[in-house]
Structure formats: C-alpha cells, structure tokens
C-alpha cells in the first residue's frame, strides 16, 4: 500500500481497496471485514493510514455514511486508531489483545485440562528451547527469583503460592523467548494455567514435575536449547491430567 502520509494521496488506486460489489445488508460490518482481511493478509500494515472517508467510500462502492458506521467497529476490534486530524491509522496489535482472545477461546469452548495439556506438550518445550537461545540477563534474573519463590512454596506446602509461581515461571519463559507470538500465547495461558495448577498441586505433589523447573532454568543459563526442551518435556510428562473440569 502506498503510504498516504508521505504522498498525500487520497487513496485512489490502492490495491487493498479495489472496487468491490458488496451485499447491501449489514454493509458496515462487511466493510469492517474487508479492511480486517486486508490487515490479516498483510496488504495493510501497522502505521498505514486509511484513505479519507469520501475516498474510501468511492473505492468500496458505498456511501460515506456507511463507511462512517464501519469505523467504530474497526476501533472496537483494536484494528485502527484515530490520529491528528481524525485520520485513521492501522494499529499495531499488542500481545495482550491476542491473549484476551485466547482466554475467551478456552473459556467459551470449555476446553478440558487434557486439551490444555496436549497443547502445552507441543508449545512449551519449544518455548523453553527458544528461551535458552534468546534469554537476556534480566530474564535470567526474573526466572531465578520466581524459581526461588516456587521452591520455597513447595517446601512450605503453600499450594496457592506454588500455583501462582509455577504459572509465573512459565510466563517468564515465554517472555525470555523474545518471540512476540509465544509471549502473547503465554500471557493468554497464564490465568488458565494457574487455575488448573491450584488443583493439580493440591491433589498431587509430583517431585519429578517440581524438580524439572530448576533443570529448565539451569539449561537456559547454560544456553542449551536441547536440554531445556527435554527438561520441559519431562516436566509435562510427569504432570497429572484432570478428568473433571476445573
């Protein structure tokens, strides 16, 4: 997309907005959907400005009032933001937005602990491996602090604190991967993980699962991705799967 910020173009001829024949029903939602798809397909990128309302209406073959009705939908979805002069700019999606959607998916679909465990088995070993490659000094410090609190909670049999620190450890691993998508998923899983961990830690005190936290941390300190991945796999294999929902 040609950047209208530098060219002053009104938006005519922009490939992302080729003239479309739209069903007249729910046009505002359809227009928002068209723009959303252009973002998802990479034709519109964060920082790009949308054409002015009049130009956008002409490109889409609708009237200006319909375009104006679609704009609040785009704002609600966190896809655009208003800048100076009421120009609309494509907004960068923050990890927290993805995290919220992920949590809603888990809750609305009533995902089981088994499903969560299966997903973690694919996702978390790779997070640990990438953390071993990419962790900064401050990441290691945070992991060390959480690990210390986790181990103290284990010794003192403080189930609630143990679950919170366990979930935080996994979240900090996602941050240490320095991969925006992994962090977004890690944020989304954090509350869900803590909820299930409160139950599993109360029911089963798995020495193997507990011990592997330090093994993962040590592998990351040694910058050994294969060792970190293997330790995470060992941890997940040792964890019980709840039959009932939390």
Domains of the chain: 4-90 (1.10.10.10), 95-238 (1.20.120.530)
**Residues 46-91: tens digit of each pLDDT:** 888 898 888 988 988 888 888 888 888 888 877 888 877 778 888 8
For residue 77, the Cα-to-chain-centroid distance in whole angstroms is 15
How far is CA 14 from each of CA 40, 46, 56, 150, rounded to the nearest angstrom? Answer: 16, 16, 10, 54
In this prediction, residue 18 carries a pLDDT of 55
For residue 160, the Cα-to-chain-centroid distance in whole angstroms is 25
Query: What percent of the chain is modeled with pLDDT above 70?
Result: 85
Confidence of residue 216 (pLDDT cuts 50, 70, 90): very high
In this prediction, residue 192 carries a pLDDT of 87
Residue in this structure with the two tokens 């992302």, named with its chain if needed = 16
The residue that leads in pLDDT, 56 or 95, is 56
173 Cβ neighbours under 8 A, 6+ residues apart: 124, 127, 128, 131, 143, 186, 216, 220
By the 8 A CB rule, do 190 and 171 touch?
yes
The string of DSSP letters for 46-99 reads TTPBPPPHHHHHHHHTS-HHHHHHHHHHHHHTTSEEE-GGG-EEEPPPPHHHHH
The residue that leads in pLDDT, 95 or 36, is 36
In this prediction, residue 111 carries a pLDDT of 83
The residue that leads in pLDDT, 119 or 202, is 119
In this prediction, residue 232 carries a pLDDT of 97
Give the torsion sign (CA, 59, 62, 63, 67).
negative
In this prediction, residue 246 carries a pLDDT of 42
């Amino acid at each position: 997309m040609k950047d209208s910020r530098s060219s002053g173009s009104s938006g005519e001829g922009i490939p992302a907005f080729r003239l479309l024949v739209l069903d007249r029903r729910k046009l505002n939602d359809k227009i928002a959907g068209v723009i959303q798809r252009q973002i998802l397909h990479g034709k519109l990128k964060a920082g790009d400005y949308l054409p002015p309302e009049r130009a956008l209406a002409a490109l889409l073959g609708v009237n200006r009032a319909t375009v104006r009705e679609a704009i609040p939908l785009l704002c609600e979805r966190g896809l655009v933001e208003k800048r100076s002069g009421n120009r609309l700019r494509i907004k960068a999606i923050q990890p927290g937005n993805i995290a919220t959607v992920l949590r809603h998916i888990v809750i609305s679909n009533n995902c089981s602990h088994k499903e969560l465990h299966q997903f973690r088995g694919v996702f978390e070993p790779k997070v640990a491996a990438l953390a071993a490659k990419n962790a900064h000094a401050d990441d290691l410090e945070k992991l060390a602090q959480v690990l210390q609190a986790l181990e103290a909670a284990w010794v003192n049999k403080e189930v609630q604190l143990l679950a919170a620190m366990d979930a935080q450890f996994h979240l900090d691993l996602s941050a240490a991967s320095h991969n925006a998508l992994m962090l977004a998923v890690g944020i989304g899983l954090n509350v869900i993980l803590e909820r299930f961990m409160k139950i599993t830690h109360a029911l089963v005190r798995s020495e193997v699962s507990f011990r592997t936290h330090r093994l993962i941390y040590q592998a990351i300190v040694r910058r050994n991705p294969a060792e970190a991945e293997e330790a995470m796999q060992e941890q997940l294999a040792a964890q019980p799967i709840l039959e009932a929902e939390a």
